[in-house]
Structure 1
Amino acid sequence: RNKQVFERQWQAADAERESEQGRKWVFFLTVPLPPAASNYSAPVNFISAGLRKPAAEEEVEDDSDEDDEKPIKQEELPKEVVPKKLKTGGNFKPSQKGFAGGNKSFMDFGSWERHTKGIGQKLLQKMGYVPGRGLGKNAQGIISPIEAKQRKGKGAVGAYGSERTSQSLQDFPVVDSEEEAEEAFQKDLSQWRKDPNGGKKKPKYSYKTVEELKAKGRIGKQLSAPPKELSQVKVIDMTGREQKVYYSYSQIGHKHNIPDDSPQQPLGKDSKPQGFALPELEHNLQLLIDITEQEIIQNDRQLQYERDMVINLTHEIQKISEVLTHEETAIGNLSKVLEMVEECERRMMPNCSNPLTLDECAKIFGTLQDKYYEEYRMSDRVDLAVAIVFPLMKDYFKNWDPLKDCTYGTDVIAKWKTLLENDQLLSLSGQDLTTDAFHRLMWEIWMPYVRNIITQWQPRNCGPMVDFLDSWVHVIPVWVLDNILDQLIFPKLQKEVENWNPLTDTVPIHSWIHPWLPLMQARLEPLYSPIRNKLANALQKWHPSDSSAKLILQPWKDVFTPGSWEAFMVKNIVPKLGMCLHELVINPHQQHMDAFYWVVDWAGMISVSSLVGLLEKHFFPKWLQVLCSWLSNSPNYEEITKWYLGWKSMFSDQVLAHPSIKEKFNEALDIMNRAVSSSVGGYMQPGARENIAYLTHTERRKDFQYEAMQERREAENMAQRGIGMAASSVPMNFKDLIQTKAEEHNIVFMPVIGKRHEGKQLYTFGRIVIYIDRGVVFVQGEKTWVPTSLQSLIDMAK
């Protein structure tokens, strides 16, 4: 703030000076000329020389060079230098020229504005400014911001005390932290100087203990370079008057601990010779102190490094001791394992008195696995097993016949599986027998016996071979079993199927093919197509009266896929059955039922739709024609009723539930009702009309009860599967469910009296007509009845 005020004042004064005609302020630089023992390092002094004359009037030479030590006084200044009144009307006092010289308050500050249009002074006065006093509410502003002082030495600003003015100290007595630090610095500095009063002052020394020096060295430790390099760097300091040499970067921070001597003063009257001044000795002593400090710090760091190294080496010794103990244990274990292996090899020699048995060998390998697991896993088990176990295993299976004793050796092989099998999973594609001893054992020792017996095996005698593989399936590796089934068993079966003739072979093919289904499953798929072709060729001359065809085909119904089975039946069986029904003669008086039985007997083999199609095409037209002829010749309605019920009992419930079959039997009832109703004038058997009506009512009620039962079953199945509502709120049947939904949505749901479709009761559901068939809602469309969901039904009814 003081600087800004000063700059504004300086600019205003400079403008006034430039307005003078050629007059300018001049500062003379006075350099003292000392005697012979001159001190050229003395400071440069600036003093005010007043106003400079114009070039035309400047003739008088300045005599200030005659006595450079005397300051220029006001009375000695030339007349032209005496301050004059500026054009603005302001007068500068001698102490105010150049703003550096006097201590008087700036009484006429801004007085030139009285003759100008400036309003700065007026605004200040309106705000309560009183000339001669400071600015601000409490008059604490500084009027004289700068007071020039001549320094006696060459120190920097603040080196010889505070630079504050008396007014600053008066208005702002509080000392800031920088001034406190400066005072502390001067206090420490004063112990190296003499007393200003001339007497000798006892210096106050500050001491450092070794611990403090060590702590300082640890804190100031530089990580950018090793300590030895930092302590041995030679540094030349040329920042002062004299060149100084340091032997460590840390010494640079201490170069101001011992300040330089005060500038030499020329010898005069008041000067006193120095009593004791040996700067070289002081420098050497300081250098020795610095070197000693660096040695102490370096020794402390080296000691700490050695201590850390001791701790590190202690941990390293402990770790190496543990490794050594572990290695000694491993060596001991390997020695014991080697002894056991050598013992096995010794007992495997041909002339050994105590030969090694397979059970004893298994115990030895079990001991190796239990007590020396790491060594056993790290060792080459394949070579060890090949050398010791394989000969014993080969001798164990030398008299084995897999088809006679299929379980022989399963326990032994299962035990060796746990001892020799590797932990990693092996597949057929990536099988490496060199990495797993058990797989190699099965392939080289066990597999040759199996391969030999399968080459002699007859596929029609499948029982022993299937039992053998079932006994070993949980022991042998998966890829070995796949190899047996794909490369050995399947080719034998395929060749036998090619040689099979269903017309001459007395043994059914399913008896020696189906036992392989649990083991081979989808592997038998390639055999099914040749079997179907051979069966189709055998059925070309077949007649439904021959029941052997059903015995041959029935085991394959669940083996073939549903699509292939249905296609086979439609192509080879259904046409034969249709021909048989076509030849059937319906005679109420003498009926032969053999042909009908031949057809119905295939109900479980062919689909319901195929059987219904046969009946609609070949049976019901003739049956309804016989009924019409019988009713036209004054029949006995009681016999007709028995005949109707007798034929209906010949069909299963599944067939009777079909809408087409229901429609045919309902058509027969309608024919009987029309026949009874049309006999008005002729003879009518007593009670015939009532009997026919009762029969019709009974049959319709049975159909309704059957529908209700079916719907109830569907609802129960839905409840069991968790579909729909909870079990407690599930309706008894699907019709009740529709009724409940209709009540929830305020929809009218009621049966249409006297209206049926394919034997199903029609209902009105709002504005649409529906019927229910086996838990499915059918809605009447434009051309046909369309199944729909319950929610769609509700949406359409609204």
Structure 2
Amino acid sequence: MPKRRASDENILGIFADGERSGRKPRQEKSSGDLTKGISFVRGQTLQPTSVPAPPKEEKNKEQDEDSDVDSRFVLDASLPSANFTPAVEGPKLPARNKLSFHQMSSNYGKGFAMLQKMGFTGGGLGRHNDGIANPIEVQKRQTKMGLQDDGEMVDQDLYGNEGGRRTIEELLGTISKPKQSDEPKISDGWKRDGKSKRPKTIYKKAEEASGEVPAMRIVDMRGPEVKVASSFAELAANLAGDSVRSLKEFRHNTRLLVSRYEDKVRAAAERKRHCENIILAAAKEQERLQAADNISESDVKGCKELVLEIESLREQQDEASITLSELADSFKRLERTRPKEFHLLSAMDVAFALALPTAKRELSTWQPFKAPEDGLKAISKWQQLGDKERFSALLDASLIPQLRKALVAWSPRDFEPCIALMETCKKALHLDVAEALIAEVVLPRLRSELEVWDPRIDKVSAHLWLHPWLPVLGRKMEMLWTPIRFKISGCLERWDSNDPSAHGLLKPWQQVFDASNWEPLLEKVLSRLEKALLDTPIKPDGQDLKALKSLFTWLDLAPLENVARVLETAFFPQWHSALKQWLRTKGCNFSEVLQWYQGWKALFPPELREQLVVQRHLAHGLEVMKHMMANGSDLDEEPAAPQRPSHANLPPTSARNLPVEEVSLSLSDYITQVAAEEGLIFLPKKQQRNGKQVYQLGAATIQLEKNLIYVAPKGEGEWKAASMDELLKLAKVTKK
């Protein structure tokens, strides 16, 4: 046993069991009493446990025994006293959300909205906010994974407390996590593919390897917590959360500083302008004083005489014995006879000071609409005396108030006297003065009159009292077009397509409105006409033509291609259906069908019949008729690509016991059909040959005479007859 004891001593030192060099063995203390005093129970209130103090003799004895023990190994922990009260619970970290409100809203959508309605404001769940703070994440089971393997739950921090205890090294990822072994687990051995697989080697090109961008880590230390973002988008999403207010205080303080210095800058600009005016006034005064120092005795005598004459004019003005025109002539004479004295005394200022009360007196009884030249002729003389600033001040104080007063009481529908007044103002006054008067008074009056104008009940159309202003106002009237369009558009909402009043209402505005105001109105009209055509059935007996004739009345306002589009959408589908249904009828009279077809064709105006869409549908209907007459079976083809018949003679009709004349086509109709099938233009030209109409087929010029087709030569030469195949070949080659 001594060897065993020596071994224990070498390992445990003073804590080894047994006797050591004559010392008595250490008495073991009861561990039960010490543990009772320092134990903790979660969630319960602990009562203090009294621990009896050891006797003094034993304590002193133990101290004597341990007197030679190294102080580093002495456990001098004192026991809790009798007055010590343990805490109910230890400190508890508050729950924190890993995701911001913006991220939770984008990830969970309606669920997060319902959570907010139930009182969720961030932090943990529950009444005391001590529940989980982060949504539970799960992982999808892999293919062929059994139930005995790991579950779907992810090792995550639901309360958000672990994130607060991470270090900077952990946040930056400098502490590497232990790599998981690629070897299969024991539980994977029973699988068919449970053997370890050799890692796949991936090869990259040099440009691909050089173009790789290293992962970015952004450490955000601006808030109470240190956050790490992998991109600027993630950082912006974190800023949008409730924890960070996106520098709200900083932006508020910046606005305060900007507003404060903005006032200072504005005050400095006003002070600078005031100083400049003072400098200019001082310069003028200096010039006047220098001129006064250089005057002679004769000049002084002339100034005195000028003062006497001006005083005489002032007395006449006080007595109202001088007119505004006479006053202007008098000051013009004084400036011409005594220019030096007139300049030295600044007599022009005195002249306009005397002109103001005279103008007010004369214009107070002036009637601008009845006699526009009376008031303007007298005041126009003053714009030749003084500068623009003095004259504008005279107008603003005397003439403009009278014009405004007259225009406010003026009815915009009585346009003739006002137009005459404005034209007189443009001739007598400066152009900018008249333009300002028009923009500030005339246009607002026209706009206010348009607000009360109702096209449905008003007997006078707006164009009657607005269009006369076009030569005077010009492009300034564009501000009135949009309100007019809105009123007309409101009327078209409940317009009956058979009512021709809408055509008369819109026609005056065709050349006035711009495209942005005209095209919406036209589209609304065509849509109403298209609906009326759709509601009108096509039938051979008792056909209602009101909707179609209403459409044709708009040919002078609507583009032909738009009208053809309405026919293609609303009319021709029903027309083809009615034609086929009639041809399928037992005992159908094909001569009546042909007359019906020709009647419809003659109904279309010539300019509309020349549209390619209309030609294509008419040619398809003719092809269906020929096929039914010849074979007695249906020809179900789309009108967009009808089959062109042989260029030989037309199909015989003897099988139907009908004369050939009743079903034969004219040469013009046949060429119209062929041109539609080949995509060529077939239009009449503005010329004739031997009294016959000349046509254009593609790029070729032709003339039709009975059953022959004559083609014009390329240069000088004679016209020659050609077959249909030669004609098409020539048209296509020439077209290219």
Question: What's the TM-score, normalizing by structure 2?
Answer: 0.46
The structure number with the bigger radius of gyration is 1
Question: What's the TM-score, normalizing by structure 1?
Answer: 0.43
